[in-house]
Amino acid sequence: MRDPMRKIVIIGNGITAELLYEYLRHDDRYQIEAFSVDSQYIQDNRFFDRPVVDLANLPERYPPGDYDVLMAVGYGDLNRNRERIFAKLKAMGYSIETYIHPDAKVYSPHIGEGALIMPNTLVDVFAHIGANTVVWGNGTVAHHAKVGPNCWLASGCVLSAGVEIGANSFIGVSATVVNNVRVGSHNIIGAGALVVRNTGDFKVYINRQTEEFRLGSEDYLRFSKL
Protein backbone atom coordinates (compact mmCIF):
# COMPACT_ATOMS: atom_id res chain seq x y z
CA MET A 1 0.00 0.00 0.00
CA ARG A 2 1.28 3.45 -0.92
CA ASP A 3 2.11 5.98 1.75
CA PRO A 4 -0.84 8.39 2.15
CA MET A 5 1.51 11.35 1.70
CA ARG A 6 2.26 11.53 -2.02
CA LYS A 7 5.94 11.86 -2.95
CA ILE A 8 6.02 14.52 -5.62
CA VAL A 9 8.56 15.86 -8.10
CA ILE A 10 7.51 19.27 -9.44
CA ILE A 11 8.17 19.67 -13.16
CA GLY A 12 9.39 23.22 -13.68
CA ASN A 13 11.48 25.86 -11.92
CA GLY A 14 9.73 29.09 -12.90
CA ILE A 15 6.89 31.16 -11.45
CA THR A 16 4.31 28.39 -11.71
CA ALA A 17 6.67 26.03 -9.88
CA GLU A 18 7.20 28.63 -7.15
CA LEU A 19 3.46 28.97 -6.59
CA LEU A 20 2.79 25.25 -6.59
CA TYR A 21 5.66 24.65 -4.19
CA GLU A 22 4.17 27.17 -1.78
CA TYR A 23 0.72 25.55 -2.00
CA LEU A 24 2.00 21.99 -1.64
CA ARG A 25 4.30 22.64 1.27
CA HIS A 26 1.26 23.63 3.33
CA ASP A 27 -0.75 20.64 2.10
CA ASP A 28 -0.31 17.48 4.17
CA ARG A 29 -1.27 15.31 1.19
CA TYR A 30 2.14 15.91 -0.38
CA GLN A 31 5.84 15.59 0.25
CA ILE A 32 7.92 17.60 -2.24
CA GLU A 33 11.08 15.68 -3.12
CA ALA A 34 12.64 17.58 -6.03
CA PHE A 35 12.17 19.73 -9.10
CA SER A 36 12.94 18.64 -12.66
CA VAL A 37 13.41 20.46 -15.98
CA ASP A 38 15.22 19.92 -19.26
CA SER A 39 18.96 20.41 -18.82
CA GLN A 40 19.11 23.74 -20.66
CA TYR A 41 16.81 25.31 -18.05
CA ILE A 42 18.82 24.26 -15.00
CA GLN A 43 20.33 27.42 -13.51
CA ASP A 44 21.14 25.99 -10.10
CA ASN A 45 21.18 22.49 -8.66
CA ARG A 46 18.89 23.56 -5.79
CA PHE A 47 15.49 25.27 -5.85
CA PHE A 48 13.75 26.03 -2.53
CA ASP A 49 16.39 23.75 -1.00
CA ARG A 50 15.25 20.81 -3.11
CA PRO A 51 17.40 19.13 -5.79
CA VAL A 52 16.88 20.15 -9.43
CA VAL A 53 17.20 17.12 -11.70
CA ASP A 54 17.67 16.90 -15.45
CA LEU A 55 14.41 15.54 -16.86
CA ALA A 56 16.34 12.96 -18.88
CA ASN A 57 17.74 11.49 -15.65
CA LEU A 58 14.53 11.67 -13.64
CA PRO A 59 13.53 7.97 -13.83
CA GLU A 60 16.91 6.93 -12.42
CA ARG A 61 16.79 9.36 -9.49
CA TYR A 62 13.05 9.29 -8.76
CA PRO A 63 11.56 6.18 -10.38
CA PRO A 64 7.96 6.00 -11.60
CA GLY A 65 5.84 4.04 -9.17
CA ASP A 66 7.72 5.44 -6.19
CA TYR A 67 7.19 9.08 -7.12
CA ASP A 68 4.52 11.05 -8.95
CA VAL A 69 5.09 14.23 -10.91
CA LEU A 70 3.22 17.52 -10.87
CA MET A 71 3.17 19.73 -13.95
CA ALA A 72 4.32 23.29 -13.19
CA VAL A 73 5.00 24.32 -16.79
CA GLY A 74 3.55 27.58 -18.13
CA TYR A 75 1.37 28.23 -21.18
CA GLY A 76 4.19 29.02 -23.65
CA ASP A 77 3.60 28.28 -27.34
CA LEU A 78 -0.14 27.83 -26.74
CA ASN A 79 0.48 25.17 -24.11
CA ARG A 80 2.42 23.02 -26.55
CA ASN A 81 5.38 23.04 -24.16
CA ARG A 82 3.12 21.57 -21.48
CA GLU A 83 1.76 19.07 -23.98
CA ARG A 84 5.24 17.94 -25.04
CA ILE A 85 6.51 17.48 -21.49
CA PHE A 86 3.29 15.75 -20.39
CA ALA A 87 3.68 13.21 -23.22
CA LYS A 88 7.35 12.72 -22.37
CA LEU A 89 6.56 12.00 -18.72
CA LYS A 90 3.83 9.54 -19.65
CA ALA A 91 6.26 7.74 -21.95
CA MET A 92 8.65 7.47 -18.99
CA GLY A 93 5.89 5.70 -17.05
CA TYR A 94 4.92 8.44 -14.59
CA SER A 95 1.55 9.03 -13.03
CA ILE A 96 0.91 12.75 -13.37
CA GLU A 97 -0.75 14.20 -10.31
CA THR A 98 -4.13 15.89 -10.66
CA TYR A 99 -3.96 18.73 -8.16
CA ILE A 100 -7.08 20.30 -6.66
CA HIS A 101 -6.35 23.03 -4.13
CA PRO A 102 -8.25 22.53 -0.85
CA ASP A 103 -10.00 25.89 -1.31
CA ALA A 104 -11.35 25.01 -4.76
CA LYS A 105 -15.00 23.97 -5.09
CA VAL A 106 -15.10 20.99 -7.44
CA TYR A 107 -18.42 19.22 -7.82
CA SER A 108 -17.59 17.11 -10.87
CA PRO A 109 -15.53 13.91 -10.96
CA HIS A 110 -14.54 14.58 -14.57
CA ILE A 111 -11.12 16.09 -13.98
CA GLY A 112 -8.40 14.87 -16.34
CA GLU A 113 -4.98 13.55 -15.39
CA GLY A 114 -2.46 16.25 -14.61
CA ALA A 115 -5.04 19.04 -14.38
CA LEU A 116 -4.44 21.85 -11.88
CA ILE A 117 -7.44 23.41 -10.14
CA MET A 118 -6.31 26.45 -8.19
CA PRO A 119 -7.74 28.26 -5.12
CA ASN A 120 -11.29 29.63 -5.06
CA THR A 121 -12.16 28.06 -8.38
CA LEU A 122 -15.62 26.63 -9.05
CA VAL A 123 -16.02 23.57 -11.25
CA ASP A 124 -19.73 22.84 -11.31
CA VAL A 125 -21.60 19.56 -11.64
CA PHE A 126 -21.38 17.82 -15.03
CA ALA A 127 -18.41 19.97 -16.08
CA HIS A 128 -15.39 18.31 -17.70
CA ILE A 129 -11.78 19.47 -17.39
CA GLY A 130 -9.32 17.92 -19.85
CA ALA A 131 -5.98 16.34 -19.05
CA ASN A 132 -3.07 18.71 -18.42
CA THR A 133 -5.37 21.76 -18.21
CA VAL A 134 -4.94 24.57 -15.69
CA VAL A 135 -7.85 26.45 -14.10
CA TRP A 136 -6.31 29.38 -12.26
CA GLY A 137 -7.71 31.01 -9.12
CA ASN A 138 -11.23 32.45 -8.96
CA GLY A 139 -12.25 30.93 -12.28
CA THR A 140 -15.71 29.49 -12.94
CA VAL A 141 -16.47 26.48 -15.10
CA ALA A 142 -20.24 26.16 -15.10
CA HIS A 143 -22.34 23.02 -15.38
CA HIS A 144 -22.02 20.97 -18.56
CA ALA A 145 -19.04 23.03 -19.76
CA LYS A 146 -16.26 21.02 -21.38
CA VAL A 147 -12.63 22.11 -21.49
CA GLY A 148 -10.25 20.20 -23.74
CA PRO A 149 -6.73 19.02 -22.92
CA ASN A 150 -3.70 21.29 -22.57
CA CYS A 151 -5.71 24.47 -21.94
CA TRP A 152 -5.00 27.38 -19.61
CA LEU A 153 -7.85 29.30 -17.99
CA ALA A 154 -6.48 32.44 -16.34
CA SER A 155 -7.70 34.06 -13.12
CA GLY A 156 -11.33 35.05 -12.92
CA CYS A 157 -12.45 33.77 -16.31
CA VAL A 158 -16.02 32.52 -16.62
CA LEU A 159 -17.13 29.62 -18.81
CA SER A 160 -20.90 29.60 -18.82
CA ALA A 161 -23.16 26.55 -19.02
CA GLY A 162 -22.58 24.24 -21.95
CA VAL A 163 -19.45 26.00 -23.20
CA GLU A 164 -16.85 23.92 -25.05
CA ILE A 165 -13.19 24.92 -25.20
CA GLY A 166 -10.95 23.23 -27.77
CA ALA A 167 -7.53 21.79 -27.02
CA ASN A 168 -4.55 24.06 -26.30
CA SER A 169 -6.58 27.23 -25.92
CA PHE A 170 -5.73 30.13 -23.61
CA ILE A 171 -8.55 32.03 -21.90
CA GLY A 172 -7.33 35.32 -20.43
CA VAL A 173 -7.96 37.03 -17.11
CA SER A 174 -11.66 37.78 -16.49
CA ALA A 175 -12.69 36.71 -20.00
CA THR A 176 -16.25 35.39 -20.36
CA VAL A 177 -17.64 32.80 -22.77
CA VAL A 178 -21.44 32.79 -22.85
CA ASN A 179 -23.75 29.78 -22.74
CA ASN A 180 -23.31 26.97 -25.27
CA VAL A 181 -20.59 28.70 -27.28
CA ARG A 182 -17.78 26.58 -28.70
CA VAL A 183 -14.27 28.02 -28.70
CA GLY A 184 -12.04 26.24 -31.20
CA SER A 185 -8.67 24.67 -30.53
CA HIS A 186 -5.51 26.76 -30.14
CA ASN A 187 -7.44 29.98 -29.52
CA ILE A 188 -6.23 33.01 -27.60
CA ILE A 189 -9.04 34.81 -25.80
CA GLY A 190 -7.64 38.02 -24.33
CA ALA A 191 -8.18 39.48 -20.89
CA GLY A 192 -11.68 40.81 -20.36
CA ALA A 193 -12.97 39.56 -23.72
CA LEU A 194 -16.61 38.56 -24.13
CA VAL A 195 -17.15 35.65 -26.54
CA VAL A 196 -20.76 35.36 -27.70
CA ARG A 197 -20.45 33.15 -30.79
CA ASN A 198 -18.57 30.05 -31.88
CA THR A 199 -14.96 30.49 -32.96
CA GLY A 200 -12.81 28.59 -35.42
CA ASP A 201 -9.47 26.98 -34.66
CA PHE A 202 -6.30 29.07 -34.25
CA LYS A 203 -8.23 32.32 -33.68
CA VAL A 204 -7.46 35.36 -31.51
CA TYR A 205 -10.03 37.54 -29.74
CA ILE A 206 -8.66 40.58 -27.95
CA ASN A 207 -10.79 43.02 -25.98
CA ARG A 208 -10.10 46.58 -27.08
CA GLN A 209 -7.90 48.40 -24.59
CA THR A 210 -9.54 50.93 -22.32
CA GLU A 211 -9.37 54.39 -23.86
CA GLU A 212 -8.56 57.46 -21.83
CA PHE A 213 -11.72 59.35 -20.97
CA ARG A 214 -11.92 62.97 -22.15
CA LEU A 215 -12.33 64.31 -18.59
CA GLY A 216 -9.76 64.19 -15.82
CA SER A 217 -10.68 62.47 -12.58
CA GLU A 218 -11.56 65.70 -10.71
CA ASP A 219 -13.85 66.91 -13.52
CA TYR A 220 -15.41 63.47 -13.80
CA LEU A 221 -16.22 63.49 -10.09
CA ARG A 222 -18.06 66.81 -10.43
CA PHE A 223 -20.21 65.59 -13.31
CA SER A 224 -20.81 62.02 -12.19
CA LYS A 225 -21.65 62.75 -8.51
CA LEU A 226 -19.64 59.72 -7.39
Whole-number percent of the chain with pLDDT over 70: 94
pLDDT of 214: 80
pLDDT category at 225 given cuts 50, 70, 90 is low
Q: Residue 111 has what DSSP assignment? A: B
Give per-residue pLDDT as tens, 124-143.
999 999 999 999 999 999 99
Evaluate whether 16 touches 37 at the Cβ level (below 8 Å): no
In Å, how far are 20, 39, 45, 184, 207 from 35, measured between CA atoms? Answer: 11, 12, 9, 33, 37
Mean pLDDT calculated for residue range 83-89:
98
Whether 1 has a pLDDT exceeding 50, the answer reads no
Average pLDDT value for the chain: 94
Whether 226 has a pLDDT exceeding 70, the answer reads no
Mean pLDDT calculated for residue range 119-123:
98
pLDDT category at 79 given cuts 50, 70, 90 is very high
Whether 3 has a pLDDT exceeding 60, the answer reads no
pLDDT category at 219 given cuts 50, 70, 90 is confident
d(CA 104, CA 122): 6
pLDDT category at 217 given cuts 50, 70, 90 is low
Helix (H, G, I), strand (E, B) or coil at 98: coil
pLDDT of 207: 81
**Burial annotation 129-149 (CB, 10 A radius, 16+ → b, else e):** bbbbbbbbbbbbbbebbbbbb
Query: How many CB atoms lie under 10 A from the CB of residue 156?
Result: 19
d(CA 16, CA 112): 19
Q: Look at residues 103, 97, 102 and name the one whose alpha carbon lies nearest to residue 116.
A: 97
pTM, two decimal places = 0.92
- Architecture of the domain spanning 98-209: 3 Solenoid (2.160)
Task: Sketch the domain layout of the chain as residue ranges.
Answer: 6-97, 98-209
Whether 99 has a pLDDT exceeding 80, the answer reads yes
Taking domain 6-97, whether its CATH number is 3.40.50.300 is answered by no
Give per-residue pLDDT as tens, 165-207.
999 999 999 999 999 999 999 999 999 999 999 999 999 998 8
